[in-house]
Amino acid sequence: MTTLGIAGLRTQARSWNARVRQRVWRLAPGDLDRVVLHHSRIFILPTRRGLALMATLATMLLTSMNYALSLGFALTFLAGGMVAAGLLATFRNLAGLAASPLGAGEAFAGGDLEFTLSLASGSRQRIGITVAGRQGLPNSVDLPPGATRPVALSIPAPKRGHLGLGRISLSSDFPLGIWRAWAYVHFPLTGTVFPAPEAGAPPLPPGRHGSYVGRSSRLADTELAGLRDYERGDALNRIAWKAVARGAGWYSKQFEGTGGGGMLELHWLELPAGADTETRLSRFTTWILAAERAARPFSLHIPGTVLSTGQGAAHRRAALTALALFPPDDR
Amino acid sequence: MIGKQASPPLTPVQVAWLGALLVSAQWPLWGHILIWNAVAGAVLVFARVALPPQWRALTRHRRWLLPLLAIAGALGIRTELGYFVARDPCVQFLYLLVGIKFIESRDTRDGTLLICLALFLSLTQFFYLQTIGAALSTVPVLLALGGTLASLRGGAPAAASDWRALLRSTTRLILQGIPLAALLFVLFPRLAGPLWGSPTEAGARSGLSDTMRPGSISELSLSDAVAFRVDFNGRPPPPAQRYWRGPVLSRFDGREWRAVYKLLPGKFVPRQVRPIEYTVTLEPHGKVWLFALEHPSALPRSPGNDPLSPAGNEIAYLTYDQQLVAKAAVVQAVRYTQRSSLRDSYPGTDDNPRESLQLPRNNPRTLAFAKEMREGVDSDRAYVNAVLKWFHNEPFVYTLSPPLLDRDPVDGFLFDTRRGFCEHYAGAFTVLLRAAGIPARVVTGYQGGEMNLDGDYMIVRQSDAHAWTEALLDGQWQRFDPTAAVAPSRIERGLGAALPAGEQVPYFARLEMTWIKSLRLKWDSVNYQWQRGVVGFNIERQRDLLAGFGLEDARPWQLVAVVAGAVFIWGALLLGAARLRRSRVDTEVVLWNALCSRLGRAGLARAPEEGPLAYTRRAAKRWPQWASVLARIGERYAQLHYGPLDPRRDQMIEELRTGVDALPRPRALNEASRSTSAAKESPETVE
């Protein structure tokens, strides 16, 4: 009974502790939608310059006390009043600012993944709002009153897989640079990082001739090989618009690469046995990009995922995402 | 949090702001420091702002140049002042140092250091001067401080270079901080004494000294400077009784009178008359004596203290010769309440005959004259009267510019030139008394004082400096003023009345009341209030003020609580003010209401349910020549007030304003419409 009670208290204390930690540090992505910054979220501390200024004011105060300089007190307190008013101004510059998540981009490992937020200034002007993630360059914006602006934030993406935006900080040291106010916001924004393309990968393997490839002729890469029936998802720039304009129906243009035309089957087991998982994923990434450039339809067969033959941006993204999320080697 | 980061280099705009800050901190010191130092510091600041970068490269390639300059400056200051580790040389060095640091400053971290140095430097001027002007000279410092901080913050270059906007926002911050500053000024605990060292200050100040030789007081009399100001608790005494006692001089070397310092305690005069009470605000003179009307009947107290328990608040002693000697040199303005019995004598014994009868051997004619005259009368008192009568009858001239006398100056004055100022008369008279065996000494101080009717207080100036004599007769030290025997109007009506026409008289000592003089008296009254209320705000006045709010016994934590509460209210008001401003009536509503009332006065009131478009359409029908303007007004107002938030809002408000301003006044509107309607001969105009 008592042990249960104590245990209950302990769990309660732990959850309370967790709530406080979340409230202060925002370590979990708890901000599901638009966040309006107000006093419970905004921290404010003096900057280094602010500390130096306050130390000077303290020295001035001591001097005024020692020499009984009434006007010294007056000067010190006037400057101190300005510092205090600066604190409020810095706070006001951040308070009432609204941030919403807009979206996450895509990137290849080793590149930068771009996240987009939107900042709404509300009723007042916002100056020098710095948006910073865990890593990467912070982004600084000014907003006129009543404005809503997208703000992009690039986060380095070293590894394939999912990449969360993580906790970001919105900060400002306007107007005097002696106080820095900041607020943590943690949106559950996540982007996908595709495997890095393999440098010096072998050329695309020869494809198998599919049913509709027969109409094509073998020509140099990027030369028009022929037309095929339009399929949903084909890129707009591949549509044979002249044919559409003539009323001949919907066709897509097909281009020919040197590596052999036709449908491509990317098969996990067809890669050299010595290659490790990451190399295989990188090579597939390279090939998928090459196939897309060459406008060759491809299918993907990797353990756990099979993508049937297809083409176009959606297909490509599905294939790359499958590669990105492939479970890493346990060894 | 942030590790060592390279600070961004200073931009020209930031350098200009720093230059403005440094100059505004430096210039108030120009009158108080060595001239070469003042010039060097200013030139360095100017050079950093104005000279092209290749000149600064000179210092970068010769790294020893600036340290050498600093050392040379320090040595120069040491040589000129004779010492270095003290307040004044440090101020001088700091003044030079900010210039040197500015020359070599490169990045914003240097900028931070310069801001701190400049702010402290601007405080140091108050060591020397705490006038209204000195206080005003910190306004540019504060403005430049805010501007410099804002420009060092970085941000968009366009915003940082708009100095007007920076000044405006700084002004707003300063104004917002003023209530807090005033509260702290009043409530921050003041100390009764210094924390370290002694805030004494070298440097000559005008005022009486503890020696007197021919010419010393007449020189002082040329100055209009205020010696002290007096608030009387009741009516001020008549001019003839305004003898402000200062240093007493008893040693004479034949030429110069000198004070003898012996801290023998004195006795207060017995109270025969009701004492007069007054409060003196003494300008700092760097010496120890305080001034009181003859003769003090109590020790001076700090004003506002409980008169029943003056213990611990005594600021002075009374010496055996009725001088008030302060416990510390008067290096800043001091205020004390004093009581005096207005009388011209006090009981005494010849406590030290050798001192009050001491005479050197020179001036033989004087000695012989005294002996001869004393033999002709039968009492000491008759002798004194005979000498005063002799002064009165002989052709003595009271003048600020007596001829110089070298050997036996008393002989020369009494028997040859017979032209002199009060120090000549008091000195010679004392010698005559001593030569006849009567103990006597010279008393210096001030005689007179002018009431400032604007502030209802008395001003005593250096030009009121005076010297008289006291002699021991029948067990009483009796005051005699030989100057009064020669120029009675000096005592009754002041210096301006006593001096012969054509003498150079200080401005305020003149008799005629010109408007300039009355203006300057008004200014003095302002200064006095400043001195009393702001500069002289010390621990006593703070206690008085707190007592006024019932806080005299407040414990420190209570005061802290008051301040904290006030700060909270202040912050809440400022943050709330921002919210209020948001909900304030929008500009377009103000303009629209102005339009409605104008059209209403022209006879076309808006119906309560009528929207802007309908109303302006109706107005356009009534005044067709303004139809397009009215239509635009209605459209703009509807957009601004009911439409979505538009980025071109400001521009639209301006358009609305131009439209409203373009419409004529109501009467003109109707007349214009009547004339056009009449031209069209419309039946509607008949009303």
Taking the C-alpha atoms of residue A214 and residue B580, their distance in angstroms, rounded to an integer, is: 76
Min Cα distance B309 → chain A (Å) is: 25
What average pLDDT does the structure give for chain A? 84
Q: Which amino acid is at A110?
A: G
For residue A258, name the pLDDT band (cuts at 50, 70, 90).
Answer: very low
Q: What is the DSSP letter of B462?
A: G
Taking the C-alpha atoms of residue A322 and residue A324, their distance in angstroms, rounded to an integer, is: 5
Q: Inform me whether the pLDDT recorded for A116 exceeds 90.
A: yes
A161 conformational bin, left if phi > 0, alpha if psi -120 to 50, beta if neither: left
Q: How many CA atoms lie within 13 A of B482 on its CB side?
A: 34
Q: What pLDDT is stored for residue A269 in this prediction? A: 82
Contact (CB<8Å) A70/B179: no
B8's CB contacts (< 8 A; 6+ apart) are: B107, B108, B154
SS3 B549: coil
Token pair of B576, please?
Answer: 């709330």
SS3 B26: helix
Q: How many CB pairs under 8 A join A and B?
A: 172
Contact (CB<8Å) B112/A85: no
- Counted residue by residue, chain B has a size of 687
Q: What pLDDT is stored for residue B104 in this prediction? A: 86
Please report how the helices B12-26 and B108-124 are oriented relative to each other, as an axis angle in degrees rounded to 10: 10
Q: What pLDDT is stored for residue A267 in this prediction? A: 86
Reported ipTM: the value is 0.80
Q: Which amino acid is at B149?
A: L
Q: What pLDDT is stored for residue B514 in this prediction? A: 72
Cα angle value B424/B427/B433 (rounded, 5°): 135
Question: Do A204 and A264 contact (CB within 8 A), yes or no?
Answer: yes
* Residues linked to residue A184 through DSSP beta bridges, in sequence order: A169
Lowest average pLDDT, out of A101-110, B104-113, B195-204, B236-245, goes to: B195-204
Contact (CB<8Å) A69/B146: no
Chain A residues whose CB is inside 8 A of the B645 CB are 146
- Average pLDDT of B675-683? 50
Contact (CB<8Å) A176/B194: no
Q: What pLDDT is stored for residue B75 in this prediction? A: 92
Give first-to-last CA distance, chain A, whole Å: 47
pLDDT tens digits along B445-472: 999 888 887 778 898 988 889 999 999 8
Q: What pLDDT is stored for residue B199 in this prediction? A: 47
Out of B149, B199, B537, whose CB is closest to A67? B199
The percent of residues above 70 in pLDDT, for chain B, comes to 87
pLDDT tens digits along B85-100: 878 889 999 999 999 9
What average pLDDT does the structure give for chain B? 82
The percent of residues above 70 in pLDDT, for chain A, comes to 88
Q: What pLDDT is stored for residue A217 in this prediction? A: 39
Out of B119, B180, B537, whose CB is closest to A84? B180
Q: What pLDDT is stored for residue B157 in this prediction? A: 58
Chain B residues whose CB is inside 8 A of the A60 CB are 119-120, 123
Cα angle value B459/B461/B465 (rounded, 5°): 130
Domain parsing of chain A, residue ranges:
26-192, 213-324
Contact (CB<8Å) A67/B194: yes
A 10 A CB-CB count for B319 gives 17
Q: What pLDDT is stored for residue A3 in this prediction? A: 60
Question: Do A140 and A5 contact (CB within 8 A), yes or no?
Answer: no
Taking the C-alpha atoms of residue B112 and residue B152, their distance in angstroms, rounded to an integer, is: 8
- Greatest mean pLDDT among A42-51, B215-224, B414-423: A42-51
- Residue B636: closest CA among B650, B618, B621: B650
Chain B residues whose CB is inside 8 A of the A177 CB are 149-150, 152-154
Q: Inform me whether the pLDDT recorded for B586 exceeds 70.
A: no
- Average pLDDT of A262-275? 81
Min Cα distance B149 → chain A (Å) is: 5
Q: Inform me whether the pLDDT recorded for A221 exceeds 50.
A: no
Taking the C-alpha atoms of residue B286 and residue B293, their distance in angstroms, rounded to an integer, is: 20
Q: How many CA atoms lie within 13 A of A290 on its CB side?
A: 26
- Greatest mean pLDDT among A220-229, A254-263, B128-137, B575-584: B128-137
- Residue B267: closest CA among B316, B304, B317: B317
Q: Which amino acid is at B81?
A: L
Out of B191, B535, B575, whose CB is closest to A70? B535
- Counted residue by residue, chain A has a size of 331
Chain A residues whose CB is inside 8 A of the B191 CB are 65-66, 68
Q: What pLDDT is stored for residue B404 in this prediction? A: 78
Interface of A with B in 276-315 (CB under 8 A): none
B139: nearest CA partner in chain A: A75
Min Cα distance A303 → chain B (Å) is: 45
Q: What pLDDT is stored for residue B583 in this prediction? A: 45
- Average pLDDT of B561-570? 90
Q: How many CA atoms lie within 13 A of B262 on its CB side?
A: 12
- Residue B224: closest CA among B244, B206, B242: B206
Q: How far is CA A151 from CA A30, A105, A143, A320, in A?
A: 20, 13, 11, 26
The reply to whether A79 touches chain B by the CB within 8 Å rule is yes
Out of B115, B538, B567, whose CB is closest to A68? B538
Lowest average pLDDT, out of B65-79, B242-256, B299-313, goes to: B299-313
Q: What pLDDT is stored for residue B649 in this prediction? A: 77
Taking the C-alpha atoms of residue B306 and residue B311, their distance in angstroms, rounded to an integer, is: 10
Domain parsing of chain B, residue ranges:
12-154, 211-509, 587-685
For residue B202, name the pLDDT band (cuts at 50, 70, 90).
Answer: very low
Supply the pTM of this predicted model: 0.69
Place of tokens 């004195």: B266
Token pair of B62, please?
Answer: 């010769």
Among A61, A71, A94, A140, the strongest candidate for a mutation testing the B interface, having the largest count of B CBs within 10 A, is A71
- Residue B446: closest CA among B491, B414, B402, B408: B491
Q: How many CA atoms lie within 13 A of B677 on its CB side?
A: 16
Out of A60, A80, A175, whose CB is closest to B120? A60
For residue B677, name the pLDDT band (cuts at 50, 70, 90).
Answer: low
Lowest average pLDDT, out of A52-56, A92-96, B63-67, B424-428, goes to: B63-67
Question: Do B138 and B29 contact (CB within 8 A), yes or no?
Answer: no
Q: Inform me whether the pLDDT recorded for B683 exceeds 70.
A: no
Taking the C-alpha atoms of residue A5 and residue A9, their distance in angstroms, rounded to an integer, is: 6
Taking the C-alpha atoms of residue B650 and residue B284, their distance in angstroms, rounded to an integer, is: 58
Q: Inform me whether the pLDDT recorded for B337 exceeds 50.
A: yes
Q: What pLDDT is stored for residue B580 in this prediction? A: 54
Min Cα distance B203 → chain A (Å) is: 16
Q: What pLDDT is stored for residue A93 in this prediction? A: 92
SS3 B603: coil
Q: How many CA atoms lie within 13 A of B572 on its CB side?
A: 6
Q: What pLDDT is stored for residue B442 in this prediction? A: 93
Taking the C-alpha atoms of residue B168 and residue B163, their distance in angstroms, rounded to an integer, is: 8
